[in-house]
Amino acid sequence: MINIKICEWLLENADAPIRYRIAREFLKEEKMVLQIESELLDNSIVKLWLKNLKPNEPPQHRWMVNGCNDFNLENAMTKCVQLGLHAGLPQVTDAVSYYLNIFKNSPAPKRKYSKNDTIINLEHIANYLTLAGFQDIEIREYMLKRLDIIYNFVRFMDYNIYISEEDRAELKGVPKHWEETEYFVKDNLFIKTSFGEIEMLPEIRDIIVFHKLYDTCNPEINKKIDAVIEYISNDDYHSTIASGYGIKMAGKNKYHGVGWDAKYPGWFDVSYYINNDNERTVHNILQTTDCPGYVYKLLFFAEHIVKYPIALKTKWYADLTDCLEKYKTDNGTYIFPKEWLPEKKGYVVGGFRMSFGENRRKKNWLEIESTFYMQLLKQNI
């Protein structure tokens, strides 16, 4: 539930990105949105991320879509959306014109390129364009295809995704640092396409965007989205699935990590996860137990998982909000430890870019961003 009094306080105190989001997403005041829009686009932080979003010609790196660099599409687009930017703004359309053109003109992309070519993956491009609100038919078709692939696996609620001990013993050429792991993902959980393999397992990158498909108002699509969230919202998923899912056999004597899992950080004990943040653990594929981690990773995940009704009914969500209520002030605002809202280089989906664009030289920046975050967390209650 949106607190109107708090929204008014944010409108009086926050910089353009938060005020724009309050007006557009919470209050839905079109006149106010237009009044703040020019200020938003003139904001120095917004300008920087729009610049990051738009590739040089030719692109400055062959890995333009996925990665932890500021120019990678997954980082730049996720950050731009966090700052309030969206497909309805001509500046955003211009910034991603490179990706829109590739998407529309590359019906059969390949993963194998010469050393100097840009790696293209339409599935991931569609993901981040959808996150920003682009609804082109071709983009939507890719998103629905991805949803179908995941749904056709998760609907069986099968968590037996690893090869047997006997099959592990037959593996050849396993890198030394993975020789002791038991988490080798079954090969049949990957679908071979003309542009590479698509995994059936849901990732955090799916979670941050699938809620956008609710706007189709299609009961069948909604059922599939809910099935994905149901699959990751239980004890079996968190006690069985390794962090990062595990290792995949990528060919003869070739192996690599599967990718980002979609676990709720602190699923079994949110309070312990938060209060023991100083005991941070190194990312470890052997880790399936609930252990201390990065609170900002938890906060990023929570910001997006609350878009799904199933998640709001979990004990995890209730426990999280109870923990965060401890940071409420007498004025109804919130002040988190500043370490929870870092703005440093790293993967946005890992919580490394948690700033909402507030000028951090302001004395009350932490109160503003903490308070806005809590409004995001409660908006769908």
Distance CA 45, CA 50 (A): 9
Q: Judge whether 316 lies within some domain.
A: yes
- Give pLDDT, residue 114: 42
Give yes or no: residues 202 and 166 share one domain: yes
Give yes or no: residues 280 and 373 share one domain: yes
Core vs surface per residue 58-84: b (16+ CB within 10 A) or e: ebeeeebbbeebbbbbbbbbbbbbbbb
Give yes or no: residues 279 and 201 share one domain: no
Q: Judge whether 12 lies within some domain.
A: no
Core vs surface per residue 291-324: b (16+ CB within 10 A) or e: bbbbbbbbbbbbbbbbbbebbbebebbebbbebb
Point out the domain boundary residue: 221, 238, 263.
263
CB-count burial class (<10 Å; 0-12, 13-18, 19+) for 132: buried
Q: Judge whether 352 lies within some domain.
A: yes
Point out the domain boundary residue: 263, 284, 306.
263
Give yes or no: residues 233 and 273 share one domain: no
Give yes or no: residues 360 and 374 share one domain: yes
Point out the domain boundary residue: 226, 242, 263.
263
Q: What are the structure tokens assigned to 286, written together?
A: 């052997």
Give yes or no: residues 298 and 351 share one domain: yes
Angle at 41 (CA atoms; ends 59, 130), nearest 5 degrees: 55
Give yes or no: residues 247 and 310 share one domain: no
Distance CA 59, CA 62 (A): 7
Domain that holds residue 289: 264-381
Give yes or no: residues 283 and 220 share one domain: no
Give yes or no: residues 333 and 218 share one domain: no
pLDDT per residue, tens digit, the chain (381 aa), is: 889 999 999 999 999 999 999 999 999 999 999 999 999 999 999 999 999 999 987 788 888 999 999 999 999 999 999 999 999 999 999 999 999 988 777 554 444 444 455 666 788 899 999 999 999 998 999 999 999 999 999 999 999 999 999 999 999 999 998 888 889 999 999 987 665 678 999 999 999 999 999 999 999 999 999 999 999 999 999 999 998 999 998 888 899 889 889 999 999 999 999 998 665 544 444 455 555 568 999 999 999 999 999 999 999 999 999 999 999 999 999 999 999 999 999 999 999 999 999 999 999 999 999 999 999 999 988
Q: Judge whether 334 lies within some domain.
A: yes
Q: Judge whether 106 lies within some domain.
A: no
Give yes or no: residues 234 and 352 share one domain: no
Q: Judge whether 298 lies within some domain.
A: yes
Q: What are the structure tokens assigned to 256, written together?
A: 């690599």
Cα radius of gyration rounded to whole Å, the chain: 21
What Å distances lie between residue 300 and 56, 164, 283, 352, 356, CA to CA? 29, 34, 17, 9, 12
> Total domain count for the chain?
2
Give yes or no: residues 351 and 274 share one domain: yes
Q: Judge whether 180 lies within some domain.
A: yes
Q: Judge whether 108 lies within some domain.
A: no
Give yes or no: residues 242 and 160 share one domain: yes
DSSP 213-247: GGGG--HHHHHHHHHHHHHHSSHHHHHHSBTTB-E
- Give pLDDT, residue 198: 84
3 state DSSP class of 162: strand
